Amino acid sequence: MRQRHLAGGFIFALLLSQPVAAYDLPSLNLGFTSFLDGAPPSGPGWYAQQYVQFYRSARLKDADGDNALIPTPQGPRTAEVDANIGITQLVYQSDQPLLFNGKWGLNLMLPYASLELDPDNGPIQASSANLGDLLVGPFLQWDPIMGANGPRFMQRVELQMLLPTGDYDADKAINPGSNVFSFNPYWAATFFATPKWTLSWRLHYLWNAENKDPFRLLGVDDSQAGQAIHLNFASAYEVIPQRLRLGLNGYYLKEITDKRLDGRRISDSKEQVLGLGPGLVYHLSKHDHLFFNAYWETEAENRPEGGRFNLRYVHHFH
């Protein structure tokens, strides 16, 4: 472990930490969506979705992927994060073509979380507040491309925006809100290799505005997270017709530009992580669907590395 990371670039990454998703990146879709992601599961109409995700035993990592140390009154200690995350989502999918024959829709998501940091007796502390940043996303959904035995390909493009509406306290290092506007568009698609075997992905790009009120111990006027790409991917096989699909799921996050403090680039500050594990989707009915995903993270740099367990319920109003 390189002790130099207790100051300079690593302290920047650490003190701005938000273990819901990353040290200073906003809360992102890391593994919340997976199978059959290329289209709403029940066609046009209104959807209500509820997500619950548990993030456990997440060790903070430095730029070399080693366990990070944080200052405490007893001296530097290895740090670990736990988070309980919920998201309530409302989606409307129209049946009206708008552009390039894509049908318009709107996605609204409200996250909330409880965050715990161990140790919590030093200058790096978690907020006790819970409300995250509101997400608003207009999208275009294309009808499935059909084959002789059913759908072959379906896709959607969404222009997601994260609004700085969540709880944020500049005296706390860890907050559920990011205090910045972020633009996070994505392309989601599902390919049916056979009627029973599907491959799905959701590819995001992320841009973040400046934080004009960063963590006060940094002693700077503004900070800015780097740009990033992140990808959810999954493959499932139908083992019970129209009921149960089992598969593998994963995600990958890579920050592609340096973070900034007062406009200055911070070297060795880019975040990355890879998560992999099993999952399933169970179709309770034509209008009710249950997803479960487990992920174990590896290759983390400048961010936590732990295990995620995700449960998602989808209801289609008809």
For 83-124, the pLDDT digits (tens) are 999 999 999 999 999 999 999 999 999 999 998 888 888 777
Is the distance from CB of 164 to CB of 181 less than 8 angstroms?
A: yes
The two structure tokens encoding residue 192: 């049916």
| CATH number listed for the domain at residues 3-17+34-317 | 2.40.160.40
Encoded tokens for 286: 């034509």
pLDDT tens per residue across span 61-71: 888 898 888 88
pLDDT at 15: 41
- Among the ranges given (1-10, 108-117, 127-136, 142-151), the one the predictor scored with the smallest mean pLDDT: 1-10
Range scoring the smallest mean pLDDT among 6-10, 55-59, 227-231, 309-313: 6-10
Residue 256 tokens read as: 């592609």
pLDDT-derived band at 9 (thresholds 50, 70, 90) equals very low
